[in-house]
Amino acid sequence: MPGNSFGHTFRLTTWGESHGPGVGCTVDGCPAGLALDEAQIQHELDRRRVGQSKVSSQRQEPDRVQIMSGVFEGQTTGAPISMLVLNSDAKSSHYTAIKDLYRPGHADYSWDAKYGLRDWRGGGRSSARETIGRVAGGAIAKLLLAQVGVRIVGYTLQLGDLRATQIDEAEIERNIMRCPDPVVAEAMIARVDQARRDLDSLGGVVEIRARGVPPGLGEPVFDKLQADIGKAMFSIPAIKGVEIGEGFGVANLRGSQNNDPFIRREDGTIGTLSNHHGGILGGISTGEEIIVRLAAKPTPSIAQAQPTVDREGNPTSIEVHGRHDPTVLPRLVPVAEAMLALVLADHLLRQRAARVSYP
């Protein structure tokens, strides 16, 4: 089973290398009858695009999506939706000099160990450009989820020891860090600027929330909702930690503190008084907000000299020049949103097979 597909019933397959002709994806399993146009997908791609600000890479590409199939007269048909984005600003020259060196923190060595060869131009398949297909597929997933009232929002929560102290969603897209706290956002931007001047990079934490998720999504045992979310998030480049709800904080809680009492809400439905559980119990959504945090490592491509070896193991030194983000956080936000949307869309459809009949 090859590894370039995600999801069982709503299924995304991505392809493409950083410096090849283009990147793209196929969404298979999108139900028929969903209103869809390229502008909606383009909007999400524009959110992840590079060259947007001083905290991101300066690579300039329009990343124009073309829908190649699966849509007819503005609606999905049930056929696979193929999407294509041509590459236009690939500069392989940065990479020629270092093609035989193993960049620290990168996949060069492990890829060689697996395949015996690799496309070294711009990181090849391991480039972050691969996430274009995820964002395009996630855009369709978001549209499907919107039909049942699900809304996903993400933001930069933490950079180093700087952590947002308020979550004002209106602020998120107003600053280049996508931080929901405007004061902390300013401090984060200054911190990134300094790291760039130091030829260095920074890690941090992104938080994603999904509201309006109907209770009942997720499969018990191996395909628990948090298991598929965990897989989705850890499949994003640079992610080293994932939390649901209280996350690692549960290590410091007693059961009497961590348990969320069930209540009857004013509308008569059942919910919980608190939300330590982060919207999932026993692998199945409860209807409470789903809360996910993911830790992203500092971009491994830095322009300062680092010790390493070449393919034969000879010690040497490397400086990774090129157009790299000093922090991936703001561009990670739409990618992580897309992955959460893909998981929820998949389980929304899978849930339809859970009962012989529905009331």
Annotated binding site: 48, 54, 125-127, 282, 297-301, 323
Beta strand 290-296 pairing with 204-211: antiparallel
Q: Interaction with its own copies in 65-104: which residues (CB under 8 A)?
A: 66, 68-70, 72, 75-82, 84, 102, 104
Q: For its own copies, which residue of 44, 63, 130, 337 counts as binding (CB under 8 A)?
A: 130
Instruction: Answer whether 217's CB lies under 8 Å from 310's CB.
Output: no
- Shortest CB 52 distance to its own copies, Å: 20
- The string of DSSP letters for 290-332 reads EEEEEEEPPPS--SS-EEEEBTT--EEEE---SS--S--HHHH
Q: Does 290 bind its own copies (CB under 8 A)?
A: no
Provide the annotated binding site for FMN.
125-127, 282, 297-301, 323
- Alpha carbon of residue 20 to chain centroid: 22
User: In terms of CB distance, is 170 or 246 closer to its own copies?
Assistant: 246
Q: Interaction with its own copies in 256-285: which residues (CB under 8 A)?
A: 256-264, 268-270, 272-273, 276-278, 280-285
Encoded amino acid at 239, one letter: I
Q: Does 62 bind its own copies (CB under 8 A)?
A: no
Q: List CB contacts of 48: < 8 A, sequence separation 6 or more.
A: 131, 132, 135, 331, 334, 335
- Shortest CB 115 distance to its own copies, Å: 4
Instruction: Answer whether 113's CB lies under 8 Å from 106's CB.
Output: no
Q: Does 333 bind its own copies (CB under 8 A)?
A: no
Q: Interaction with its own copies in 153-212: which residues (CB under 8 A)?
A: 158-161, 195, 198, 200-205
- Shortest CB 91 distance to its own copies, Å: 17
Q: Does 24 bind its own copies (CB under 8 A)?
A: yes
User: In terms of CB distance, is 43 or 265 closer to its own copies?
Assistant: 265
CA distances for 80 relative to 16, 67, 103, 258, angstroms: 18, 10, 37, 43
Q: Distance between CA atoms of 309 and 65, rounded to whole angstroms?
A: 39
